[in-house]
Copies of this chain bind each other. A is one copy, B any other.
């Protein structure tokens, strides 16, 4: 499945760590669709993961950058424009990390330096990228920017912790900067709110397996995979979605619009029955 949807387009992709990453799939799909791009990640992440391998496979350039560092981003944007001999057409932001989650500070015992770091890494980095790009006038008219988000920005999920606030701020930045970059350069900015996905980042979230089982049963189409997310991003980078901006777009098999599904309720009911059946079986055992 390849349509040349991004033929001739240049991009910049943040956050591809390994083949489980959504950003990795976006890179692969963008490559198939005819785009050229620069991959970036922190130097540390690059060493831990296999971003450079991805760069080889997709015939792209890897430039390390810490997305919270404005000088790093300036260097990145400069080199990217040099590399392409001009402007880019799309950016993917797939960056999120909470030191509070990592270090197991619960939500009612947060460390506030960590909280500010969560916001800086997971939300302000998006603003920094856009501000630097705008200063360098790095994005072509009618370019497209996407950041990955999660429904925790709207609804509380236990254990998601201060990432909820980070995603809420991220989506707000998409709107606020989408207004300015839109009116001045016709550049659109959206977030894609993706099903819970078993990436390296997702694995950090406690109880994510059970959650994924639940959302799978709640979503009429099941959870969206990383590849399906990548396909959706491709349409948002293409010229076919030019007037879609400042939106948070759910790619979640319908989860966000469900109150309760039959399948999830049936599973849930089992647990109500379970105590009963458990008791009956135990009685049977005793009798024997």
Chain A residues within CB distance 8 Å of chain B: 1, 3-5, 70, 107-110, 112, 115-116, 119-120, 123-124, 127-128, 130-131, 134, 151-162, 164-165, 167-169, 171-173, 175-183, 186, 188, 195, 207, 210-211, 213-214, 219-225, 228, 231-232, 234-235, 238-247, 249-254, 256-265, 267-274, 277-278, 281-282, 284-285, 288
Contacts and interface: CB of A to CB of B under 8 A. Distances in A.
Residue among A107, A224, A239, A288 with max Cβ neighbours from chain B (10 Å): A107
Given A107-B180, A169-B119, A271-B267, A249 B246 contact: no
Given A115-B127, A169-B169, A177-B108, A183 B263 contact: yes
List the number of copies, as a whole number: 4
A225 to B, nearest CB: 8
A267 B182 CA distance: 19
Contacts of A270: 270-271, 274
Nearest to A106: B180
A244 B239 contact: no
A288 to B, nearest CB: 4
